């Protein structure tokens, strides 16, 4: 650390714009169940007011990580800090975090109102305060009308809202959400994604959200932490993680992509008959090229300088509404998936064009299971 | 889906069984309770309410019935106090050894009731294991007489015998509680104690009711434990029924007492079922 004279310290060292104040810090956390390594050396910081999503396939360890933060599971090694308070040695009921459970975990013998007021009651808040805060929380999730009803008499989406209100009413510093939308059907789910996101902005509480759905992660998060077999592959904002995937796994897990195994020699990457200029050292390299960055052009048009053009034959077409994905056989072994506006394709022989800058070099993902 | 003949073939045997071996005896008993015995020791088929009047008039009958209920109530309370913590420990904290502990609780049920009652006789008697031990360590100078042939011995033995019956439904109810409710309670700031009283216990009430009903009903009708260990002060209502049907040869009066007990037990079971339904939320 360089010591800075007091006169210049404030304006010069303002790093808060880059990394806002950290709320929760997960440091070198590892977890194994017997011989089974579930998490290896996870370090992750959550900023105040941030919506951070832990994204991963089932078995990636994402729920275990959340449970370690909540206190239902203890880490084999590593630490969890909230500010200057060490969290991982405290029982769950002393932590200022609340959880929205995957299956809501509403207390079946209590009414909606009693469920929401539970945290305040066990903390022995005065009756008047419990009453107003419960009312506010129910109003926030638009469930005031159901205050006296038992949870078994309301729908899944409504139970979801109650679970949310029950957690938020305690004004935690951090809210943990364990796949809270996975039990809802697709339409309701999309609606809840937007509601949850706007609610998070409104209450300005940090959300640590766990999901296996990459689309959900993209829609809601400020940042995504992609977990694979117990290790973080990349932590970045949705746009960043989509346009600059760090590894082949990230590129494939988030959205569609074409992975091109190329050989770089003298500033030129070659993959079968395709070649394009790169700024990389010689050797084998892996590239991710998104389908929407490839365009179908008419053979008659002039090749724009700097763009790569390749002929091919359409082998498959999948309609997706506004767009469709076509698979084009370009050369020996090279099949490119291309996203085009619907109804453009239809010709068997096409010419494809992309900009070399859109082929993003990615690290080969380590072989794991 | 199934043919009429098939349905009949499946439902008829149990119906016949129940009618022949349950309803008919009950009906017979009900009829007997209105008849009487003549001085020539013959059962007279003359209908009257005399037997029921006799029950109310002669103190020993309803006093014994109340004593039996008091014994059954104590057995119920003690087996709940033993069975609940045991079930709670097994369900929530036994971990890997759950199966083993469960079997250890169940095994006594395989041992004959008589053997267990006699075992207590050996333990509690004047020259029994307990008295010998107490005198050996000089805690008492003479054998404690109240240990055997007393309501105490009956309550102790029945508690020992019926605790597994209260344990089982409580254990089942506790096993049914989704563990994420316990986690949610802790997550919302409730201590383990608060979580138990506000979440776990209310959700286990159906099991407690079922267990209490078992213990109460089974010990209320018990006649072996009072016969072997109760002595004159530990007599229960079933002993009276047994003697009325046996040596006293007054079947009609015995039937009247039996019918009163049946009514009591059936209404208890009915009540407990209503309460259980009120407290179940699955």
Supply the pLDDT for residue A343.
Answer: 64
Asked whether the beta carbons of residue B184 and residue A122 sit closer than 8 angstroms, the reply is no
CA torsion sign for B20, B23, B27, B29 is: positive
Q: Which of B190, B202, B203 sits opposite A122 (nearest CB)?
A: B190
Which residues of chain B are within 8 Å of residue A101 when distances are taken between CB atoms?
Answer: 180, 183-184
Chain B contact for A108, CB < 8 A? yes
Which residues of chain A are within 8 Å of residue B203 when distances are taken between CB atoms?
Answer: 108-109
Overall average pLDDT of the B258-270 stretch: 94
Q: How far apart are CA B216 and CA B74, in angstroms?
A: 9
Question: A145 to chain B nearest CA, in Å?
Answer: 21
Q: Which of A92, A105, A150 sits opposite B178 (nearest CB)?
A: A105
What is the separation of C-alpha B137 from the centre of its chain, rounded to a whole number of angstroms? 36
Q: What is the pLDDT of residues B54-97, one digit of tens each?
A: 898 988 999 999 999 999 999 999 999 999 999 999 999 988 89
Q: How far apart are CA A112 and CA A106, in angstroms?
A: 8
The DSSP secondary-structure symbol of A324 reads E
Helix axes A127-140, A156-168, angle to 10 degrees: 130
Q: Which parts of chain A sit beneath pLDDT 70?
A: 1-20, 343-347, 367-369
The DSSP secondary-structure symbol of A366 reads P
Q: Is the pLDDT at B13 greater than 50, yes or no?
A: yes
The DSSP secondary-structure symbol of A365 reads P
DSSP SS3 for A18:
coil
Asked whether the beta carbons of residue B181 and residue A166 sit closer than 8 angstroms, the reply is no
**Nearest alpha carbon to residue A262 among A246, A273, A250:** A273
Q: How far apart are CA A17 and CA A20, in angstroms?
A: 6
Asked whether the beta carbons of residue A109 and residue B185 sit closer than 8 angstroms, the reply is no
Q: How far apart are CA A206 and CA A221, in angstroms?
A: 11
Residue-by-residue DSSP string for A184-243 = S-HHHHHHHHHHHHHHHHHHT-EEEEEES-HHHHHHH-SEEEEEETTEEEEEE-HHHHHH
Q: Going by C-beta distance under 8 Å and a sequence separation of 6 or more, which residues neighbour residue B154?
A: B71, B225, B226, B229, B230, B234, B236
Cβ pair A142, A195 in contact under 8 A: no
Q: How far apart are CA A294 and CA A151, in angstroms?
A: 51
Chain A interface, best mutation among B178, B182, B189, by max A CB count within 10 A? B189
Q: Going by C-beta distance under 8 Å and a sequence separation of 6 or more, which residues neighbour residue A209?
A: A51, A52, A53, A54, A177, A180, A217, A220, A221
Supply the pLDDT for residue B128.
Answer: 84
Asked whether the beta carbons of residue B186 and residue A123 sit closer than 8 angstroms, the reply is no
Parse chain B into domains and list their residue ranges: 57-278
Structure tokens at B175: 């096993």
Asked whether the beta carbons of residue B183 and residue A119 sit closer than 8 angstroms, the reply is no
Which residues of chain B are within 8 Å of residue A103 when distances are taken between CB atoms?
Answer: 178, 180
Q: What is the pLDDT of residues B171-184, one digit of tens each?
A: 999 999 999 999 99
| Residue A206 backbone phi and psi in degrees, to 5 | -70, 135
The position carrying tokens 């037997």 is B51
ipTM: 0.84
Q: Going by C-beta distance under 8 Å and a sequence separation of 6 or more, which residues neighbour residue A44?
A: A25, A26, A52, A225, A232, A235
Give the residue ranges of DSSP H helices in A244-280.
Answer: 248-253
Structure tokens at A186: 């697709």
Residue-by-residue DSSP string for B142-186 = S--GGGSSSHHHHHHHHHHHHHHHHHHHHHHHHHHS-HHHHHHHH
**Nearest alpha carbon to residue A354 among A346, A334, A369:** A334
The position carrying tokens 């609340």 is A98
Chain B: residues touching A (Cβ < 8 Å): 178, 180-181, 183-192, 194, 198-199, 202-203, 279, 281-282
Asked whether the beta carbons of residue A118 and residue B281 sit closer than 8 angstroms, the reply is no
Q: Going by C-beta distance under 8 Å and a sequence separation of 6 or more, which residues neighbour residue A253?
A: A55, A57, A214, A226, A228
Rg (chain B; Cα; Å): 23
Asked whether the beta carbons of residue A119 and residue B203 sit closer than 8 angstroms, the reply is no
Which residues of chain B are within 8 Å of residue A114 when distances are taken between CB atoms?
Answer: none
Q: Which of B184, B198, B282 sits opposite A105 (nearest CB)?
A: B184
List where CATH 3.40.50.300 sits in chain A: 20-247
Phi-psi region at A28: left, alpha or beta (left = phi > 0; alpha = psi -120 to 50): left
What is the separation of C-alpha A2 from the centre of its chain, rounded to a whole number of angstroms? 36
H or E segment at A36? strand A36-47
Supply the pLDDT for residue B134.
Answer: 87
Question: A70 to chain B nearest CA, in Å?
Answer: 7
Q: Where does B57-278 sit in CATH, by number?
A: 1.10.3720.10
- Specify the pTM: 0.84
Question: B276 to chain A nearest CA, in Å?
Answer: 13
H or E segment at A285? strand A283-289
Domain spanning A256-362, CATH architecture: Beta Barrel (2.40)
Nearest CA in chain A to B182: A105
Chain B contact for A93, CB < 8 A? yes
The percent of residues above 90 in pLDDT, for chain B, comes to: 66
Asked whether the beta carbons of residue B188 and residue A118 sit closer than 8 angstroms, the reply is yes
Asked whether the beta carbons of residue B183 and residue A98 sit closer than 8 angstroms, the reply is no
CATH homologous superfamily for A20-247? P-loop containing nucleotide triphosphate hydrolases (3.40.50.300)
Chain B interface, best mutation among A122, A137, A163, by max B CB count within 10 A? A122
Q: Going by C-beta distance under 8 Å and a sequence separation of 6 or more, which residues neighbour residue B87?
A: B167, B170, B171, B174, B207
Number of H helices and E strands in chain B, helices first, is: 14, 2
Question: B179 to chain A nearest CA, in Å?
Answer: 9
Supply the pLDDT for residue B184.
Answer: 97
Asked whether the beta carbons of residue B178 and residue A107 sit closer than 8 angstroms, the reply is no
Q: What is the pLDDT of residues B32-56, one digit of tens each?
A: 999 988 888 888 888 989 899 989 8
Burial of B111 from C-beta contacts in 10 A (0-12 / 13-18 / 19+):
exposed
Nearest CA in chain A to B278: A109
Asked whether the beta carbons of residue B189 and residue A101 sit closer than 8 angstroms, the reply is no
Asked whether the beta carbons of residue B188 and residue A166 sit closer than 8 angstroms, the reply is yes
Nearest CA in chain A to B179: A105
């Amino acid at each position: 650390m360089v010591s800075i004279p007091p006169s210049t310290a404030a304006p010069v060292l303002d790093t808060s714009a880059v990394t806002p104040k950290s709320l929760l810090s997960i440091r070198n956390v590892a977890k194994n169940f017997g011989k089974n390594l579930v998490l290896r050396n996870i370090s992750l910081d959550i900023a105040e007011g941030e919506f951070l999503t832990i994204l991963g396939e089932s078995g990636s360890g994402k729920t275990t990580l959340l449970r370690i933060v909540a206190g239902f599971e203890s880490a084999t090694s590593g630490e969890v800090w909230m500010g200057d308070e060490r969290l991982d040695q405290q029982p769950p009921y002393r932590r200022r975090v609340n959880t929205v459970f995957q299956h809501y975990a509403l207390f079946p013998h209590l009414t909606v109102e009693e469920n929401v007021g539970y945290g305040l009651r066990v903390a022995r808040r005065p009756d008047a305060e419990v009453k107003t805060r419960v009312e506010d929380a129910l109003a926030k999730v638009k469930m005031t009308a159901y205050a006296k009803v038992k949870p078994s008499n309301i729908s899944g989406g409504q139970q979801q809202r109650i679970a949310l209100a029950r957690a938020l009413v305690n004004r935690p510093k951090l809210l943990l959400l364990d796949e809270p939308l996975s039990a809802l059907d697709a339409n309701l789910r999309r609606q809840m994604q937007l509601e949850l996101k706007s609610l998070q902005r409104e209450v300005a509480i940090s959300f640590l959200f766990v999901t296996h759905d990459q689309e959900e992660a993209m829609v809601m998060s400020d940042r995504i932490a992609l977990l694979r077999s117990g290790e973080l592959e990349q932590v970045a904002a949705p746009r960043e993680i989509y346009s600059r995937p760090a590894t082949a796994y990230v590129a494939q897990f988030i959205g569609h992509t074409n992975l091109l195994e190329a050989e770089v020699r003298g500033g030129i990457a070659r993959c079968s008959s395709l070649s394009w200029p790169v700024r990389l050292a010689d050797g084998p390299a892996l590239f991710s090229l998104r389908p929407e960055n490839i365009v179908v052009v008419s053979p008659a048009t002039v090749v724009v300088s700097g763009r790569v053009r390749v002929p091919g034959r359409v082998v498959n077409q999948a309609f997706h509404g506004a767009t469709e994905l076509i698979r084009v056989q370009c050369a020996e072994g090279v099949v490119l998936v291309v996203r085009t506006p619907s109804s453009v394709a239809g010709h068997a022989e096409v010419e494809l064009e992309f900009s070399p800058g859109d082929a993003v070099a990615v690290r080969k993902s380590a072989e794991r299971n | 889906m199934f043919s009429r003949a098939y349905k009949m073939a499946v439902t008829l045997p149990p119906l016949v069984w129940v009618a022949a071996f349950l309803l008919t005896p009950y009906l017979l008993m009900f009829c007997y309770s209105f008849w009487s015995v003549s001085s020539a020791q013959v059962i007279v088929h003359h209908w009257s309410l005399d037997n029921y009047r006799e029950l109310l008039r002669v103190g020993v009958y309803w006093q014994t019935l109340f004593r039996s209920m008091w014994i059954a109530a104590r057995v119920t309370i003690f087996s709940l106090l033993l069975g609940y913590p045991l079930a709670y420990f097994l369900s929530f904290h036994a971990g890997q050894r759950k199966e083993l502990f469960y079997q250890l609780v169940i095994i006594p049920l395989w041992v004959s009731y008589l053997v267990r009652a006699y075992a207590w006789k050996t333990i509690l008697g004047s020259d029994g294991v307990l008295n010998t031990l107490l005198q050996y360590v000089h805690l008492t100078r003479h054998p404690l007489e109240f240990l055997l042939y007393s309501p105490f011995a009956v309550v102790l033995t029945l508690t020992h015998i019926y605790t597994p019956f209260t344990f089982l439904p409580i254990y089942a109810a506790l096993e049914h509680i989704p563990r994420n409710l316990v986690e949610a309670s802790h997550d919302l700031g409730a201590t383990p104690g608060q979580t138990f009283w506000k979440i776990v216990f209310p959700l286990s009430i159906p099991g407690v009711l079922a267990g209490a009903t078992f213990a109460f009903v089974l010990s209320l009708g018990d006649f072996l434990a009072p016969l072997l260990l109760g002595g004159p002060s530990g007599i229960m209502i079933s002993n009276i029924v047994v003697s009325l049907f046996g040596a006293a040869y007054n079947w009609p009066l015995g039937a009247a007492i039996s019918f009163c007990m049946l009514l009591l037990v059936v209404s208890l079971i009915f009540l407990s079922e209503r309460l259980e339904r009120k407290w179940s939320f699955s």
